[in-house]
Amino acid sequence: MKGLKIAVIGGGSSYTPELIDGFIKRKDELPVKEIYLVDIKEGEKKLNIVGNLAKRMVEKAGLETNVILTLDRREAIKDADYVITQFRVGGLKARAKDESIPLKYRTLGQETTGAGGFAKALRTIPVIMDICKDIEELSPEAWLINFTNPAGLIAETVLRYTNVKAMGLCNVPVNMKNTTAKMFDVEPERIRMDFVGLNHLSWAYKVYLDGVDITSEVVRKNLDEKALNMNNILDLKWDRDYLTHLNMLPSPYLRYYYMKDQMVENQIKDKEEGKGTRAEQVMKIEDELFKLYDDESLNIKPPQLEKRGGAYYSEAAVSLISAIHNDKKEIHTVNIKNNGAISNLEDDVVIECNAFVDKTGANPMVIGNMPSIISGLVHHSKAYELLTAEAGVTGNYHKALAALSTNSFIPSVTTAKKLLDDILEANKEYLPQFNGR
């Protein structure tokens, strides 16, 4: 069997041991010959630390996989079978700005939604477009598996403006599934969740245990017991009347939409009390992680990595690659083109949904019409994503203003214009597409 070449863009990420652990666990079904970990010059120190840990992990597992550390992205992409993207343009310092700048205007400061997610998208799009050009030239048959946030918006950009075979992926759906399995004290394989919506804006509209519909019971447990959540999201409780009527399980990120006033007020309070943004908290966590990674006696994924917020990342990424490579026809939750899955949404836009995955790619499961209780928010957010993707590709100021004005978290065009000018100024070194303004 031909050995696989995997290119990981953003290889110096603190998440990389998660990914390596995933390949180790699936060594019998994925014959990985080479894993190229790629980063930029500014990330070389972290690349070397995490890359050497990856080598020790592979050696301990008895794999013959060759882990190669490089700053040469084209070398890594050439003839790759899979390209995994997990990079953060501007690093955590840029994320800290994404989380703090909007608070000046009493709007949400968050890395994937609101104005912060918009800024992150503008920084990311030029880089992902360059990566896609390399893939088109050097490995046109490769699959791009994108984890870089905002994952849905980046998938929209790639699938709309390039010819690369791509899927967007997020650890939130698998986290929701596994957390629900723990609630019922069963194996995750016995739980099935059917998702509808967009990345970080999705709902599990049906939940099954051994094929029996338990949706209402899951909703009840998320009201009566500790609701499932992510490490990076404030654990506010869902409104009982609303969630009972909804009878779907919202992604934890929907707290930002359903409780936006409380979320913003808590962020402002934290800032005033000097608690710092999530980015500043993650910087401390990463410092601790890289000190651990640098210990030459460490040759496993450390349990402290779970604090970083990437739980089940490797499960989502590597199981998806295995489903493609081994033609498994498994159900995975991915970000792909709608293609008729949601009847009351355009066919050519990217959604987050369950899909059958095999060697041809991902084929979305038919959902039908979204109910009106969620369809308005999805349409609104998709309009924002389409405008942002176009602004990110073209560097058009007026498209960017239209995009930010359309964002669900921005109260007015006046606020959007002030925010946009602040974002362009704060991120100018990362926004080549806007340099002509």
User: Which sequence positions are flagged as catalytic?
Assistant: 253
| 282 class by beta-carbon count within 10 Å (0-12 exposed, 13-18 middle, 19+ buried) | buried
Q: Is 97 exposed, middle or buried (0-12, 13-18, 19+ CB in 10 A)?
A: buried
Q: Is 247 exposed, middle or buried (0-12, 13-18, 19+ CB in 10 A)?
A: middle
- Which contacts (CB < 8 Å, 24+ apart) does range 381-384 have? 381/198, 381/201, 381/408, 382/198, 382/345, 382/346, 382/349, 384/408
Q: How far apart, in whole angstroms, are the C-alpha atoms of residue 157 and residue 387?
A: 10
CA distance 53 to 58: 9
**Residue whose pair of structure tokens reads 């050696």 in the numeric block:** 59
- Beta strands 4-9 and 82-85, pairing class: parallel
**Bridge-partner residues for 330, per DSSP?**
357
326 touches 351 (CB < 8 A): no
Task: Give the 3-state secondary structure of residue 205.
Answer: strand
**Interior angle at CA 266, CA 260 and CA 269, nearest 5:** 140
- At 7 the three-state DSSP class reads strand
DSSP letter, residue 13: S
Find out whether 299 and 57 touch, Cβ atoms under 8 Å: yes
Residue type, 134: D
β-bridge partners, 361:
358
What single string gives the DSSP state of each residue in 346-364? -TTSEEEEEEEEETTEEEE
Angle at 400 between CA 398 and CA 404, to 5 degrees: 120
Closest to 308 (Cα-Cα) out of 98, 11, 17 = 17
CA distances from 354 to 13, 205, 268 (A): 28, 11, 36
The set of residues, in sequence order, having a beta carbon less than 8 Å from that of 338 and lying 6+ positions away, is 345, 346, 347, 348, 349, 350, 351, 353, 364
